[in-house]
Amino acid sequence: MDLNKKVISLCKRRGFIFPSSEIYEGIGGVYDFGPLGVELKNNIKEAWRQEMILKHDNIVGLDASILMNPRVWQASGHLSAGFADELLECKKCRKRFKADEIKENKCPECGGKLAEPKKFNLMMKTFIGPVENKASITYLRPETCQGIYINFLNVLNSMRLKLPFGMAQIGKSFRNEINPKNFIFRTREFEQMEMQWFCNPKDADKYFDYWKEERIRWYERLGIKKENLRAVEIPEKDRAHYAKRQVDIEYHFSFGWGEIEGIHNRGDWDLKNHSQHSGKDLTYTEEDGSKYHPYIIETSVGVGRSLFAFLNEAYQEVKGGRTTTTKSIKETEVVLKFPKSLAPVKVLVLPLVKNKPEITKKAKEIYQMLKSSFMCQYDEVASIGKRYRRGDEIGVLYAVTIDFDTLNDNSVTLRDRDTMKQERIKIKDLISILKTKINV
C-alpha cells in the first residue's frame, strides 16, 4: 500500500477523518473530522494563532461571517472570469477535469475524447431569505480575507491602529471544485487561516519577503523537514487574479509537491475595488495628511491541507517494531511523531491489568486528575505492549502505567513515545513533570 493510502486508512480507523455522509454513499469533496482530527485541527489553529497574533506585534484577530452582501464578490472579482477554472468533460465517460491538469487531449480515465473547455465559476451559490429569486442570491465565501477587507475601517478605527498592521482570521471557505482530489488536499468545504498585512506600498516588497520566510520557519519549527518544503515563485500568467506577486509554499506529499500556503502581494486591488463599489473611502491617512490605499501582503494557509502535511510528516513505520523485549518485534509498528504542541492526545493512562479493581480504580483516579490539564485517553483493553503501540499509532506523547507497586509507593511509570524510555514518577509530581515536558 502506498503512503497516501496508509495515512488515509489510519485516519479513518483511528478517528481522525471520515468521508462526509458516508451512510448515504458520501458527498464528493467533503470530509468530517473525528475526535482525534478535531484535536489535531484545533492544535494547528492554536499554533497559528499564537504565532501570528501573540508572537508578532500589531496583528489583531477577526471572525467575519461566511455570508456577505453579494456585492463583495462583484468588487473582489470572484464573480467574473478571474475565479473560474477551465473544465474539460470526457465525451465518453462524462468525467470532468480541470484543464490545467490534463496533459494530452484525452480522458485520463478512459482515453475518450474531451469536449471543448468551458469556464466554470467556483463560487457556491445560495439564497438568503424565504424567496428564491435573483435578488436573494448570495454566496458562501471562497476565501476568508474579504471579510477582513470590508472590516478594514471598523478595525482600524476601533483599535486605533497605525500602519503597518495585520488582521488574522480562521474560518470556513467553500469552492465548487471541479475535481476534488487527494483526500483532504482539495475539498469543496475547507478552513483557511489567513493574515492580511496592511502596509505602505513602498514597504510591500520588504514585507513580502519577511512573511514568506516567517511562514516557512513556522512549518520547520513544527517538525516539517526542510527537504519537504519549497517556495515556488508563480509566474504572472498563473497567478491569482488579485496577485502582483505570488509564492506558493509547497509540501512534498507522497503524491507529489502540493501547495499548502500562498503568500500574495495583493497590492491595492481589494481596498481600491471595495472603495469603488461601496462608495466608502477605504484609504489610510498618514500623519502628514497624505492618503493612499494600503498594499496588502497576505499569508493564506488551508487548515486541512497543512494538517494533511503534518500527518504525512509525522507518519513513521518501523519494520519489525521498536520493542526488543516482547514478541511484537516481528510486526511493523506505526508511530505518528507529531511535535508536542500538535499531538492530539498528550497522555495515555493505562492500568497494567484490568482485572484488579485496586489498580483500575487508581488508574481512573489518575486519569481524572490529569484530564483537566492535558488531553488524555484511558485504555485498559489488551496487553500493555499492544496498548503502548496503539498510543504510538495516534502519536500520544506519554503513557502513564499504574501497576502493583503504585499501590505501595504512590509512583507510576512514565513512558516517552519517541525514546520509549521509562521512568518512575511520584503521582504528586506527575502534573508538574508532564507540564514541563509537554510545555503547556
Note the residues at the interface with ligand GAP (CB under 6 A). 143, 145, 175, 177, 186-187, 190, 192, 194, 259-262, 298, 300-302, 304-305
CB of 58 to ligand GAP, least distance (A): 20
Strands 376-378 and 347-351: parallel
b/e burial code for range 171-184 (CB count within 10 A of at least 16 → b): bebbbbbbebebbb
SS3 call for 92? coil
Of residues 294 and 302, the one with the C-beta less far from ligand GAP: 302
Of residues 177 and 392, the one with the C-beta less far from ligand GAP: 177
CB of 302 to ligand GAP, least distance (A): 3
Of residues 91 and 241, the one with the C-beta less far from ligand GAP: 241
Of residues 203 and 259, the one with the C-beta less far from ligand GAP: 259
Residue pair 97/177 in contact (Cβ under 8 Å)? The answer is no
Residue pair 88/115 in contact (Cβ under 8 Å)? The answer is yes
Number of H helices, E strands in the chain: 12, 23
CB of 190 to ligand GAP, least distance (A): 4
Which strand (E) or helix (H) includes residue 224?
none
CB of 119 to ligand GAP, least distance (A): 17
Closest-by-Cβ residue to ligand GAP is 302
Cα separation of 389 and 395, whole Å?
A: 10
Of residues 234 and 369, the one with the C-beta less far from ligand GAP: 234
Cα separation of 249 and 259, whole Å?
A: 6
For 274, the grid coordinates are: 471595495
In terms of Cα–Cα distance, which of 170, 178, 184 is closest to 124?
A: 178
Of residues 147 and 391, the one with the C-beta less far from ligand GAP: 147
The H-assigned helical ranges of 50-173 are: 71-76, 145-149, 152-158
SS3 call for 349? strand
Complete DSSP assignment for 120-131: EE-PEEEE-SS-
CB of 113 to ligand GAP, least distance (A): 28
CB of 168 to ligand GAP, least distance (A): 12
For 253, the grid coordinates are: 506529499
Of residues 164 and 304, the one with the C-beta less far from ligand GAP: 304
CB of 231 to ligand GAP, least distance (A): 12
CB of 199 to ligand GAP, least distance (A): 17
Of residues 143 and 268, the one with the C-beta less far from ligand GAP: 143
Q: Within 13 A of 66's CA, how many CA atoms are on the CB side? A: 17
| Residue carrying C-alpha cell 472570469 | 81
